[in-house]
Amino acid sequence: MVVLLQPVTFNSDVYVNPKCKPSPVPVPVIDLTDADAKTQIVKACEELGFFKVVNHGVRPDLLTQLEEEANKFFAMPQYLKEKAGPPDPFGYGSKRIGPSGDMGWLEYILLNANHHLSSTKTTAVFQQTHATFREAVEEYMDEMKRMACNVLEMVEEELSIEPKEKLSKLVKVEESDSCLRVNHYPEKEETPAKEEIGFGEHTDPQLISVLRSNDTEGLQICLKDGSWVNCWRYSSGILSVMTNGRFKSVKHRVLTNTKRSRLSMIYFAGPPLTEKIAPMSCLVLKQEDRLYKELTWSQYKSHCYKSKLGDYRLGVFEEQLPFYMSNV
């Protein structure tokens, strides 16, 4: 990891709600070369919505290179970074997360992963960096796309989803709406009395999120009982819809309670904007058993972007449960 020579200074008055206490829980570690990996993945998605993968085939030197190049970007003078902002949502941003007033102790870049859809802010980020940064980003996104499709194909096989590649092709097609987010949580000179929010509690809306971070603590996921567990190194929103609630969308957050900076890279694998999302008929045979209405990825993405981080985003797309009446 590269230590920043000129750390960015933030002022934050956002603190953690102490209602949830961190607690230990084993996070599933899944070897993608294991013959039983597909069963383990589905179990983890149903029970926790979060799992760690090993033997994934991504070169360690690529991970190191991208971390180093990203740290070089965040170490640049603020006025140069701001040439790639404000985010629209792509580009460089700091402290402000989205348009609804959410704040955090971080700066970030959000990059479009679809080469067929132009983004002036993504281009602006690359203009402020060396060519090696763009090369590393593009290779990394290709690797994350491969891994995401691999995991989704294992899910399809385990659940006997038809037709084949129903999920993975949503990420493979040229129109796929995927992106890469790189979050940088600056180090602090003093550890505050209360842990501060780096990135507030939320769920991810895309099909699946693939996260990689440096060896700095801070990531936590929320369990069913409302307690939080620390994680070192996650199924997402519309998979909850497509599996009719069988897969969980895990709520997670990042705290800043360390003098070390934290860098995380998250690949969000999303379907085309016009793709219709609904519970899959092969998993839900009866219409009245469907928990969610049909929606497009564009509708859901727009709703998530306008909402606050902690909002329950799927609520407006839930089917209304029927009332049963009888004569007494």
Residue 7 is predicted with a pLDDT of 29
Strands 262-269 and 228-230: unpaired
Low-confidence stretches of the chain (pLDDT beneath 70): 1-26, 189-195, 232-237, 257-258, 320-328
Residue 51 is predicted with a pLDDT of 87
Token pair 């092709």 in the structure block, residue: 169
As a three-state string, the secondary structure of the chain is CCCCCCCCCCCCCCECCCCCCECCCCCCEEECCCCCHHHHHHHHHHHCCCCEEECCCCCHHHHHHHHHHHHHHHCCCHHHHHHHCCCCCCEEEEEEECCCCEEEEEEEEEEECCCCCCCHHHHHHHHCCCHHHHHHHHHHHHHHHHHHHHHHHHHHHHHCCCCCCCCCHHHHCCCCCCEEEEEEECCCCCCCCCCEEEEEEECCCCCEEEEEECCCCCEEEECCCCCEEECCCCCCHHHHHHCCCCCCCCCEEEEECCCCCEEEEEEEECCCCCCEECCCCCCCCCHHHCCECCEEHHHHHHHHHHCCCCCCCCHHHECCCCCCCCCC
Token pair 């402290």 in the structure block, residue: 95
Residue 14 is predicted with a pLDDT of 34
The number of angstroms, rounded, from the C-alpha of 123 to the middle of its chain's C-alpha atoms is: 22
Rounded to two decimals, the pTM is 0.84
Residue 195 is predicted with a pLDDT of 64
By annotation, the residues acting in catalysis are: 262
Nearest Cα residue to 270 out of 181, 177, 180 = 177
Beta carbons of 105 and 12 less than 8 angstroms apart: yes
Residue 9 is predicted with a pLDDT of 32
* List of domains in the chain: 27-307 (2.60.120.330)
**pLDDT tens digit sequence for 204-225:** 888 999 988 887 777 888 877 7
